[in-house]
Structure 1
């Protein structure tokens, strides 16, 4: 399907969803449970999308622009600053200090029985990759470092991943009175030897998994692929296969409600030029061999454009009547990485893997039955809230599904989505940052943000309402009465939150 036709179908579908919203949600749910399509971008801050209106330059994203115009765009939404903790939070509805997934999970190639990397086709684009410490030599890929022996025992300790005792989102959806069919596609990054490794997506409750287990594909053009625990070599373009597999699975669900978790490799490094057929803009004219350490931004934006094209392909392959009964939830798993040269005014020293807004402030765009079109809201929220939100959109009751002894952090945002006047259930949001020796907790309310260094107890306090890019920390010994009240309130909530885990035990 052409990009133009896909956009026409998408606009017609979103217009139909607006009609359902005007007609009333209760009549729609009585007829059929909604499907839920979750789309996750890897390393995507709000400054990269034109819909958020403050970054320059931004990627060409007609599909996401259409979703933002005709659905609900949420500002002030937080993720964790790195990928595995965000994914664990969505899947469990619990913060990292409860699940233990506070940092990224390592790549256990030996556990998969893999001893050598795949060779990508000679026709594939040049790639430039980076570690948290800086650029890697040409030809090296971050995901493959442990396989090649390049880490030499210097890798930071890796968590065990979410325990199999965690009650995860796909299992909750299968426990509803009308169970959901569940499928996950693309990046997983929650499996370790301790929780089942390549079988973890299925053990977590997914009927079907087709994707890759670690932080990204070996290469976007050649990678070790897993289908329901079975490993094989895959060639082509990783995100294209993710979309193709998801579309094929969705279109065989018949009349049963389904939940699809579609997680893209893009725009995560390695920086590269995607297949030009996915780049209808001038980005398709970029020289694939010109990508370099000091020339990443055009290719990074091209990766976002390719992802947008693929989202359009996916939506275009879902029958319109099915799409009209489907919630589409798009978000980023953390902010942009510094090596991608984030669009201005984002400070590249305060992005992914840091406790600043550039690391945690991510897009959230939602459309679907009953959601009024063409809205923007500022909502204090966190990816942990998607757990309860998705369950409620599916017709479930979190209090009935989750064991009473489980300390759940998720708060449903369904009222925010379905009610034009609803402003959100939260007055504060919390996140945790950990990478190597760096470890911080961060908490915010509507106007202020507190960052606590877990190693030194040093604190930074910002007035986000007037300093959204955190350029001027407030002097703690010069706080006004209002600033002091906000600081004290955030510090109290933070202290009580951490104490709750000790109480729960």
Structure 2
């Protein structure tokens, strides 16, 4: 790239996101779906579902084509909020169970805490799932000014109860106040309405906001009610003959409508010009098995819980006014969930030298790059996928190579699932143009990428994964031994090159050994019977009491009662 275009990119990065270059720090709205599969949005090329709002936002901004998260929800959220691999925090194991006395350790500063240092108001709407057995581990004590949502990994979409391990309890909160009166309201709508309310309030406040909309959608509901959705929405998916897939389509449709409503709220309150929007998922879909939602990662291999591409390579897109409509919509370099903290911190005007011990790297310039030469901005050649020392699982990606060792549940989630190709469905350009996002973007930007059929077709083609390998000499079976893939040639992980590429395998094994030597032992522990909702008015709640006060505002004392903690916090954010 010549010095001229490079200068343009650097200026764009400055105007795009950095508060050090402009007086108006950006609002940040981070929309995190739960268990949304690679094949569940339109811009990846194969889906039989309808996501016109998500797609329009993606085509208009930047698609992160090689974005990686963790295999399950708790580790992914820990990585997002700390900028560190889960092995640094002890959160690399199985997701938190509802009565497990475990939480994200207090000695790790979180993304909302960093942003509060820069003057941001911080809000969590939806799922937490990083521990709540003591109030000091809950969102209001970990950097969020407000929380409207639930503590556990999922709840029923309408009754807001979580049923697990022969126990059942209500789990829906506004701060420290239970929201049982909202029973019967659809969770996706409730979380969206709260987000709209917070955006409207932000328009009246001089401070920027960081808003993490952490959706329940499209995680399965309680056993027996895996798919919950407004009944009127199922009709539009009559072309999908698989009944469960059509129900899931209705759930995704409501997630997509939520994205449209959020963008509309930003436009209505004149905040769209100065907002950075992220849409992504915490991990891949779970087509079958535990907490199956009938999502699809196809043609990627594997499901949630695995380190195959289907479990960890997730959909992701970023939009901002300054990157709207650029010619190149796809960022092809590696991007990891840990990168969000330094990226957003720099976006908010923070000095990266403030950060230490981070595995994440700021991808600010990568996002601003016009796509002419991604390699100049590729800050990552390596991603630790995970090390689970208890289950004997490990994985790493290095450049185009990927190494995996150890099998989860004897390989039951490690095949190719969810081939829902549908001859009755045709991708609709007209639906993109009619989407809520298109309507609101058009008020600010007369030229919309979704009105350019050639542009949309090219971006979809770029993000459509083809699995062409037919003559495979050695298939991967992790039950039998390690696997090595060249993802550039084999993105669907069909051919195991471990035996014939031993030099590469040895290098990657050595890298994993280095990470193993740095592990903080995982914190997973046995459930505490005292957490049973029957002991707490049929509610999942911080059963060991403690204080909700933040570290910099109230002293932490084991003797602090729940009552006194409420009094202390009342003066901080005026909840009571």
Per-residue Cα deviation, 1:87-131 (whole angstroms, up to 9, x for no partner): 0100011111111112201113xxxxxxxxxxxxxxxxxxxxxxx
Contact 1:84 / 1:101 at 8 angstroms: preserved in 2? yes
Alignment of 1:43-442 (within 5 A): 43-53=35-45, 55-57=46-48, 59-102=49-92, 103-108=94-99, 158=100, 160-176=102-118, 179-193=119-133, 196=136, 200-223=138-161, 224-233=171-180, 234-235=182-183, 236-253=185-202, 254-270=205-221, 271-276=226-231, 279=233, 282-283=236-237, 295-318=243-266, 319=268, 321-339=270-288, 340-343=293-296, 345-346=298-299, 350-371=302-323, 373-374=325-326, 375-400=329-354, 402=355, 404=356, 407-420=357-370, 421-422=373-374, 423-432=377-386, 438-442=391-395
Match of 1:150 in 2: none
1:494 to 475, 488, 512: 512
Give the 3-state SS of the residue equivalent to 2:379 in structure 1.
coil
Q: Which ranges in structure 2 are unaligned for 5 or more consecutive residues?
A: 1-8, 162-170, 409-478, 521-576
* C-alpha separation in 2, matches of 1:76 and 1:500: 26
Q: What CA distance in whole angstroms lies between the structure 2 residues aligned with 1:316 and 1:242?
A: 15
Q: 1:267, CA displacement in angstroms?
A: 1.0
**Runs (5+) with no aligned partner, structure 1:** 1-17, 109-157
How far apart are the structure 2 equivalents of 1:372 and 1:187?
29
CA distance in 2, matches of 1:251, 1:92: 28
Cα deviation code 1:226-280 (max 9, x no counterpart):
1112223122011111111111122112221110000111111033241156x49
- Is the contact between residue 162 and residue 195 of structure 1 (CA under 8 Å) also seen in structure 2? no
**Cα separation, partners in 2 of 1:320 and 1:231, compared to 1, 3 Å:** closer
**Equivalent pairs, count:** 411
Task: State whether residues 273 and 286 of structure 1, in contact with CA within 8 Å, keep that contact through their aligned partners in structure 2.
Answer: no
Please state how far the C-alpha of 1:428 moved relative to its aligned partner: 1.2
Q: Distance in 2 between matches of 1:49 and 1:219?
A: 21
Secondary structure at the residue paired with 2:507? Answer: helix
- CA drift of 1:309 comes to 0.5
Question: Where does structure 1 differ by over 6 angstroms across 4 or more consecutive aligned residues?
Answer: 454-457
- TM-score by length of structure 1 reads 0.75
- Distance change (3 Å), C-alpha of 1:245 and 1:252: same
> 1:25, 1:464 → 2: CA distance?
32
* 8 A Cα contact 1:163 1:195, kept in partner: no
In structure 2, relative to structure 1, the CA distance for the partners of 1:183 and 1:84 (3 Å cut) is same
Compute the RMSD of aligned alpha carbons.
Answer: 3.0
Task: Name the SS of the counterpart of 2:378 in structure 1.
Answer: coil
2:403 is paired with a residue whose SS is strand
Cα-to-partner distance string for 1:24-49 (whole Å, 9 max, x where unaligned): 54898413110000000100122211
CA contact (8 A) 1:191 1:201 kept: no
Counterpart-to-counterpart distance in 2, 1:265 and 1:40: 9
The aligned counterpart of 1:136 is none
* Aligned partner of residue 87 in structure 1, secondary structure: helix
Partner SS state of residue 284, structure 2: coil
Tell me how far apart the structure 1 counterparts of residues 509 and 403 of structure 2 sit (CA, whole Å): 8
Q: Which moved more, 1:208-217 or 1:491-500?
A: 491-500
For residues 74-94 of structure 1, give each alpha carbon's deviation from its aligned partner in whole angstroms, at most 9, with x where no partner exists.
Answer: 112111010011001000111
SS in 1 for 2:67: strand
Asked if 1:452 corresponds to 2:443, the answer is no
TM-score, normalised with respect to structure 2: 0.66
Q: Distance in 1 between matches of 2:146 and 2:382?
A: 36
Query: Residue 104 of structure 1 contacts residue 159 of structure 1 at CA under 8 Å; is this kept in 2?
Result: no
1:468 aligns with 2:491: yes
Conserved? CA contact 1:372–1:418, under 8 Å: no
Contact 1:81 / 1:335 at 8 angstroms: preserved in 2?
Answer: yes
